[in-house]
A and B are shown apart, each in its own frame.
Chain A
Amino acid sequence: MTLDSGVPAPFRFGLAAGGVFVSNDENIRITALNSLAGVRLALEARLLSLEGTIETIRVELVPTSDRVASSAIAGMREGWLLMGHVRPLAGAPRRGQCYARVEIVRGRTGDVQPIATLGGGYVTETSSLVWPGAPCEDSAAGRGVIRSITGTDPAAGVEPSDTVPTNARWGLMAWRARLVADATVATRTPQFIIDDGTTIVWRWDAGTSATASTSRDYHAGVVGYASPVSISEVSMALPAGLVLPGGYRIRTLTSGLQAGDNWGAPQLLVEEWIED
């Protein structure tokens, strides 16, 4: 028997066998954690109704760009959820910038109860989150996005310091900043420090002091040794595979820093992931 519209009855069960049955009180939710401004996501799915019609479910989400979770919920009719995806409608997120998770939930407001997870992973300009078959990928797995970040340019007499943002994970690959010492006769001895927001976890002495009226670039990187490249360049070591969660700080401590000494804005090379 064939209906005027929709999937012929004899074929419905075959089609439905590949889907997830959802009841009238269940909905579909997209949750995204995102760091890139200007991103807009669409969750689109196909549902086979009890009457045999194929219906489209669609909801859009403009996630915040502060890596804090935001979500949108779409209602569903009773039937079989066949397939779906999450794709960007605006913005060009790269892997490591926009992480999305799709769930079946009960309720639409207030105390929404997740029932099942259909998938989770990064959504990029060229790669959607697709189910069935979507992984439930850890947001900190695989490769992240490579970023070159200019930190805060500190005032004179102040040390540079940058903090890993909330809900971000940084793999620190390189760091560079310039110290211009004023004419005060004194010895400045910089140390490169990583702490957890309170307690130091890594400290490296630059090994080369700065005297009055000098200008030196200090570099930190994963190298097998630390030695000055030249009189104006100082190399410092970073541990290999250093990964820092949100709240960790990358900074200096310069013994003998004078009020007129000036550190420039640090430049950081990091690999970044979302980490909830």
Chain B
Amino acid sequence: MPKQCLTCRGVYEPQTADGLEYYHACPPVLLVAVTRAGAPLEVFSTDVQPTDTINVLRAGAVVPALVAALEAGDQRLGDRLVPRPDARDENIDPAKPAGRSRARAEGKGTADVRR
């Protein structure tokens, strides 16, 4: 039965089709550089607001643009990936004793996905 990671919401099969275990690890999270209410800050890409201003590459020049007013061809600049807070990493930590979970990090846990 597939599982869903409660940290990153990714869905995966704990055992691959060839009978081996699959060890999920949360991906990094994308930070976007925005200007909000006149102040520069970085926010998660899923938290970007239409009223934010971002720097984009437009016609070869770097210009500030309102998120709600982006044009086709605008390339957002300043994105960067950072470690995800409370990330889950099921890969084995050999230093942990056997008999209990040896995952590197539990994160927020998982839930079964019933299709």
Establish whether residues A166 and B94, one from each chain, have CB atoms under 8 Å apart when the complex forms. Answer: yes
Q: List 22 A-B contacts (CB under 8 A).
A: A36-B20, A38-B19, A65-B20, A68-B98, A147-B16, A149-B16, A150-B12, A155-B8, A158-B8, A158-B30, A159-B30, A165-B91, A166-B94, A167-B92, A185-B71, A185-B72, A185-B74, A186-B70, A189-B75, A251-B28, A256-B74, A258-B45
What is the bound-complex CA distance between A229 and B20, given in angstroms?
33
Q: How far is the CB of A118 from chain B (nearest CB, A)?
A: 25
Q: Is the CB of B11 within 8 A of A148?
A: no
Give chain B's interface residues, CB within 8 Å of chain A: 5, 8-13, 15-30, 45-48, 70-77, 79, 81, 89, 91-94, 98, 102
* A243 in contact (CB, < 8 A): no
B72 touches A37 (CB 8 A): no
Given contacts A68-B102, A150-B16, A161-B26, 16 further A-B contacts (CB under 8 A): A37-B21, A149-B22, A150-B13, A154-B27, A158-B8, A158-B30, A160-B27, A163-B23, A163-B25, A163-B91, A187-B74, A212-B72, A247-B91, A253-B81, A257-B79, A259-B45
Is A153 within 8 A of B12, CB to CB? yes
Chain B residues with CB under 8 A of A187: 72-76
Report the minimum CB–CB distance from A265 to chain B (whole Å). 8
Residues of A199-241 contacting chain B, CB below 8 A:
209, 211-212
| A114 CB-CB contact with B under 8 Å | no
Please state if A68 and B16 are interface contacts (CB–CB under 8 Å): no
Chain A minimum-CB-distance residue to B12: A152
Query: Which one of B5, B15, B17 contacts A148 once the chains associate, using CB atoms below 8 Å?
Result: B17
Question: Chain B: which residue is nearest A251 at the CB level?
Answer: B27
Asked if B10 and A185 make an inter-chain contact with CB atoms under 8 angstroms apart, the answer reads no
Q: Which of B5, B72, B93 contacts A166 (CB 8 A)?
A: B93
Interface of B is mostly: loop
Q: Is A139 an interface residue (CB 8 A)?
A: no
Complex CA–CA separation, A67 to B70 (angstroms): 49
Task: Count how many pairs of residues, one from A and one from B, have CB atoms less than 8 Å apart in the complex.
Answer: 130
* Chain A 235-276 near chain B by CB (<8 Å), digits 1 or 0: 000000000001101010111111100000100000000000
Q: Which residues of chain A are within 8 angstroms of B94 by Cβ–Cβ distance?
A: 68, 166-167
Interface residue ranges of A98-145 to B (CB < 8 Å): none
CA distance A184 to B98 in the complex (A): 48
Contact of B18 among A64, A67, A68, A147 (CB under 8 A): A147
Q: How far apart sit A184 and B81, CA to CA, in the bound complex (Å)?
A: 21
Question: Shortest Cβ distance from A185 into chain B, in angstroms?
Answer: 5
Chain A: minimal CB distance from B42 (Å): 14
Contacts of B46 in A (CB 8 A): 157, 259
- A67 to B, closest residue via Cβ: B92
Contact flag A165-B73 (CB < 8 Å), given A152-B10, A246-B91: no
> With a CB–CB cut-off of 8 A, which chain B residues contact A254?
30, 79
Instruction: Tell whether A49 is near chain B: CB-to-CB under 8 Å.
Output: no
Tell whether A158 pairs with B9 under 8 Å between CB atoms, given A37-B15, A66-B102, A255-B79: yes
- The complex places the Cα of A159 from the Cα of B31 at a distance, in Å, of 12
